[in-house]
Structure 1
């Protein structure tokens, strides 16, 4: 961890979109005047393009979560991962005019899946490589636990976040793929309580506070 904030700061992050839930989350964020970071995957439909543009236009951050999010493909080799990463980077630039320098590794930087498909040292090589190439990668220190089930119980999501936030920097992991309807339902309660506790919300940039598992 580094660049530790001097205030109570929350970085809401959403992985695996865009989907219909991304739209609902953007509506909630707009209502509360809160900014967040979306680690997106590749969606070449007109719907997907529209969502990317809305994220950018409304002042949120877009991060690169690889184009395919296909573990077997992206973690087969260093070259395969970087190719998939660049594919999304170039696509986002063509659609929304941004080339994200912030990354979240599918499964996290310490994922055992990378070792399964690419060998024991693959994730270590990848984390080093992306930093050398001018990116910053972000893991998390608060989990909503919305990925431990296909559709998690709303109260578990709320309690997981509110019990784990602390003074300083909090990078909160959510998901906004198609099944994550209860993440959407939990979000207003989470935001309202964090605002009551005096937290401020911010987006991630290359120079932000970060959490590295590796």
Structure 2
């Protein structure tokens, strides 16, 4: 299995072989460079592709699910648009998981209360969702995650077990932090790209092509195109006999501590 540990083992074995070989024959310097570049590419790919489980185990779907069940997840709220998302979900009697940013919880506590009161699950998506998040050291990561946990617990009365790393990036520091906080890491296998694509039809069509039993859909509750794409998606799900289920049901995990 391709992961960080195995990558390092292969790298150091190959490096040792090249060094040993260099005692007997001339070894071109570019072979060493090629080895380092290959390791760099593999690690960057593993860091940015959460379904690879390169540094840690992340739940990105349920590959054993044969029934037409999917889970909906929303990142980066709570936000004013969250209210419109909730209206669409209620219209189709669908439940979702909202991965919330701590500073947005502080800004919109009433919206988070509404999310919870309507039966949706809440997860942790860091405190500030900084672009530097994956460069933080373990202690700061633990502090960020714990701070957001506390904000969610203050409103919900429950401590969430679910964490989604900003941008889906993982690395050794994040792994060590999560060994402390004990969260389940939640990824996705159906990425809508609604944070990049501004055309709701293109967002919907992308999801439609990727949807399959056991899938986890990533959307954002921060834009009108996402709200409109969600409406089209739920119509499609209804027409094609899919069922929206919670992450707890899809993955057989607990969203909150007992």
Which TM-score bucket, shorter chain as reference?
A: 0.7 to 0.9
Residue in 2 aligned with 1:35? 95
**CA displacement, residues 36-91 of structure 1 (integer Å, 9 cap, x when unaligned):** 0100112213xx11111111111111010011111325632111111101001011
* Cα distance in 2 between the residues matched to 1:194 and 1:159: 13
Residue in 1 aligned with 2:216? 171
Q: Are 1:61 and 2:121 matched, yes or no? A: yes
State which of 103, 106, 117 in structure 1 corresponds to 2:166: 106
Q: Normalising by structure 1, what TM-score? A: 0.81
Residue in 2 aligned with 1:127? 175
* Cα distance in 1 between the residues matched to 2:206 and 2:81: 20
Instruction: Please tell me the root mean square deviation across aligned C-alpha atoms, in Å.
Output: 2.2
Secondary structure of the corresponding residue to residue 207 of structure 2: helix
Structure 1 residues 83 and 77, CA gap change in structure 2 (3 angstroms): same
Residue in 2 aligned with 1:16? 76
Query: 4+ runs of 1 displaced by more than 4 Å?
Result: none
State which of 206, 212, 217 in structure 2 corresponds to 1:160: 206
* Cα distance in 1 between the residues matched to 2:61 and 2:73: 18
Deviation at 1:96, TM superposition (A): 2.1
More helix by share: 2
Structure 1 residues 129 and 205, CA gap change in structure 2 (3 angstroms): farther
* Cα distance in 2 between the residues matched to 1:206 and 1:75: 33
Structure having greater relative contact order (Cα 8 Å, sep ≥ 6): 1
Computing the radius of gyration over CA atoms, which structure comes out larger, 1 or 2?
2
The gaps in structure 2 that reach 5 residues or longer are 1-59, 254-258
